[in-house]
Structure 1
């Protein structure tokens, strides 16, 4: 077991700048394979679900809570970086600075992380363009029993602090993988069908006669969610067994993608879990 290196800094040195750039810069996060995490729930879930912590950052100018002390005492992080409260405040995104920040290592985007089982429920999000929406979808997927989320296309960063914040830390408790395109999904489907047989593929769109309130969902199931502005691209539509919409009334022509996804997840979870499981909400 490695020994934690304890470092004290007093200025915006390399350690500070490294944390700051991981918070702000997607390219640097990808290069270093690490990302910035803030918040009690997020840090607790990262530890609970076995994510590797590279560093904890904190200040002892103010008395640390019992929670923070316990985290540091049990820590397996490579580094503990102590700094003045003024520096910690500069890194924090909160009005009142968090007492503990973390730099966490990314997990490998290995599609073999998905457990193949007869009631498999996977969500594909194509070209997500809002970190807030992506984080909210992750939160809903975690709440409604989704086994994995597959992100494709040019999307917002999964590890953007805004995404993590919108997920309320559930990113760490949810199996989320970043893939290249629909071709990667097709390859995975072909392999998975050898084990499960058929997988029902459902796409979401406003341009269909099938409505969520009358449609019958069955597992194993792949639910395809399109871009916030452009919806599902043609490659994904051609993969679908059925396209389904949410009937809405009033002046709005469509729903926010995170709201719409949550409605789909509720209905699917209710139907699939109803006979054998307690619905997870």
Structure 2
């Protein structure tokens, strides 16, 4: 792509970018996804993600933030009409002034930093992109080293997941693997004992009664069916989050947030 490209029609290049919004297969085949918003784009640049292109709206002068980003990111720039930017931004009334085409990182568990207080969250077969993004945001907020998404799952790079993460996707390693096997092989090779703790509303132990201060993998199940049988077998302990009221259970991302908070609370106390 030339350093600056002007696009006024829905040409092949525009259609490629448009496909990144709702076509998972094309997203991963191209190895890139679209990002919008000041905080997410700023964090992507700050944490060294590959910025393949910056798309700006044709019209009023760019804000200071956008101008500085265009100057410092060193990525090719495309100028699009307001109408086309509106389509890519998913907004009916206003056009985002800047969008970023960002390269996908490798799904490599080695991206997760290993430290003595290791805390990692596994999300098993999530079906809702928003829940994936929310869990990533909570994991970032409560000090987890990474998030692992296993099985046939919603895409962490779906625009809804990226939006729900509010930028945490770029600050925290998120790795997709086919099953529990890859996670067990990874933890087994770390050289330190790592406990795997699963969450379930019928778990025999309240989460506050279980020690989460050591190296821990927290496993959270699918929104409808919970953890798979294979993950249940892999867990060293199943814990429950006690709830009251008319609610029969917590949303998966909410349950993960509570579990992460409890782990952080125990670690601060210790």
TM-score (norm 2): 0.96
Q: Is 1:81 the counterpart of 2:48 in the alignment?
A: no
| Post-superposition CA distance 1:42-85 (Å, at most 9, x none) | 100100110000111112312211111111111221x2101221
1:17 aligns with 2:26: no
Maintained 8 Å contact 1:120/1:220: yes
Equivalent of residue 105 in structure 2, options 104, 107, 119: 107
Q: Does 1:90 align with 2:92?
A: no
Q: 2:154 aligns with which of 153, 156, 165?
A: 156
The corresponding residue for 2:165 is: 167
- Residue 186 (structure 1) shift: 1.6
Q: Find the residue that maps to 1:237 and give its secondary structure.
A: helix
Q: Does the CA-based 8 Å contact 1:121-1:146 persist in structure 2?
A: yes
Deviations 1:3-56 (A, max 9, x none): 962111221112211110111210100100000111111100100110000111
Aligned to 1:39: 37
Match of 1:49 in 2: 47
Unaligned runs of 5+ in 1: 276-281
Cα distance in 2 between the residues matched to 1:113 and 1:4: 32
Aligned with 1:242 (options 229, 233, 237):
237
| Structure 2 residue matching 1:129: 3-state secondary structure | coil
Query: Whole-Å Cα distance in 2 between the matches of residues 106 and 231 of structure 1?
Result: 28
2:182 to 181, 184, 207: 184
Please give the TM-score of this superposition, normalised by the length of structure 1. Answer: 0.92
Could you tell which deviates more after superposition, 147-156 or 106-115? Answer: 106-115
The equivalent of 1:221 in structure 2 is: 216
Structure 2 SS opposite 1:213 = helix
Aligned pair partner of 1:204 in 183, 199, 206: 199
CA distance in 2, matches of 1:98, 1:84: 11
Q: Provide the C-alpha distance between the structure 1 equivalents of 2:49 and 2:216, rounded to a whole number of angstroms.
A: 28
State the secondary structure of the residue aligned to 1:261. Answer: helix
Q: In the alignment, does 2:256 pair up with 1:261?
A: yes
Is 1:7 the equivalent of 2:5?
Answer: yes
Q: Structure 2: give runs of 5+ residues left out of the alignment.
A: none
Aligned residues of 1:4 and 1:76 also touching (Cα < 8 A): no
Return the offset for 1:222: 0.8
Q: How far 1:209 moved relative to its partner?
A: 2.4
Distance in 2 between residues matched to 1:217 and 1:75, nearest whole Å = 40
- Counterpart-to-counterpart distance in 2, 1:8 and 1:163: 29
- How far does residue 250 in structure 1 lie from its aligned partner after superposition? 1.4
CA deviation after TM superposition for structure 1 residue 259, in Å: 1.1
Residues of 1 paired with 2:34 and 2:104: CA distance?
10
Kept after mapping to 1: 8 A contact 2:57/2:96 = no
Q: Secondary structure at the match of 1:27?
A: helix
- Aligned residue for 1:224, secondary structure, equals strand
Partner of 2:206, secondary structure, is coil
